[in-house]
Structure 1
């Protein structure tokens, strides 16, 4: 899909992270000027290696918890893609205060800075965790439950703040509820690594991956290129599509057992021994939602979102990237 977006100045917060760095690259490819704001708490310098010397790219090392850093980064900017956050449900359960400081206070700083510097549109990473204990499937944007973790609380508060800023100050906002994003540059290391890169790394090292529960929890796994498309479309969408929330997913669901089956199959093309690795099953994880499956009808209608990558298609690309880069 060709999205007409060029000659704009775009701030990507958390631009050294997995999703943020991919967004920076996509924007630069379309001849935009990109500012990246990151404190490198979870972002990595190597994610920016391909673009750090691009004359249209500026890196600001700063923290969204500092309003002055936010004001500096938003100066002269047309659009904000706000990706900076402390992810991970387990991390938020272990340390809810820091998650709140970054995800709520930092988010509010970014809204204030965007308002004060007259940013045209503020697009932010929301989360499927907002659906909480709602059991209805597929997940539709206006039917949510109660949050099941401090992280989910922070991401819901973001949506509330964005709504208030659009109504009170006229700041155009769009929230994108990401569903289990995966793909190139997603870090397999660390205590809070996402499940796909973690499984890939373990299988490549011929280690048995550990699944929380019996492997029948299901997710709407979403490849990074679908997420990039949704963000870029949010910047060019007309005014009828703003000041609301959208699911960003493929619109399908697969169990963790399905996922591991695909990973073993695709990785076995590089090393046949991977096919025979046994999976270890452990207890369910606190705060986890059993099943996640998004309706993407609203995004398709209003943003013209057209996700191109199914789980299998995305995994094939991701596995190839990890095999070359890990």
Structure 2
């Protein structure tokens, strides 16, 4: 179904109010795990986009080979060059656990690369994040990682996967989805196969699905937190908000950072920092993905209108704020749509 007014109103409830009542950190703390020798732009774009959407703090957890470049891009980011090739993942568990405990959301994948040591650290971070009940975003090589071992994410309903066309085709095959499945039903089929994990299928229109209807693979620790009614749902949202006509590299990183921002707000909302907690946790990933999709596509359109064929991802960063205002208005919470 298209984005309804009711869905927009629910998304709005997750957005922190800008009324001076919250202290630093209560509007979201996001982490991005990625950044190796050849990839420094992607984790920067994801982390800075989360801040441009409106979280208070963004951390980048990366390799020392990427840290210097990422730090030079912006002093607003907190960079942790702890993913060292010469150490084992086990030796980093305590430090990484402490770091993730400070965050609301973890984005795994931008600039991760496919070197084995980076993938090993990403698996460790995913394991710790699940233990801590964090919201998760899996993108880029984070999707490659979970595609090799689907049980890493199967049934963890606090996660959003954001595949592009090529990544979605690969993920569908890995999940055993019949290639004859109608295109408009494939995202729902993948979500169902993965136990209700939210899928944000990027394309001409973004298709967002959270499908647990009849699913039996929901993780036990998650199933205990949700009602029977919430366990059996099949919700699909189609976001056809106009975007720019040029698809430049890095736009997906802006989307993953934006999803991370909305999920961080969802965690703050769940923890009672603001709001009346009327939205079930099981629906928050779908709402976060929808809000982020609308804002990112609007951002792309505004940047393209100004820069045309020459638009690059950096041009989009400064348009995130205006795009958010266009979609949700001046007031962060409680204003009319």
> TM range, normalised to the smaller chain?
0.3 to 0.5
TM-score (norm 2): 0.43
- Higher share of residues assigned strand: 1
Greater relative contact order: 1 or 2 (C-alpha under 8 angstroms, separation 6 or more)? 2
- Higher share of residues assigned helix: 2
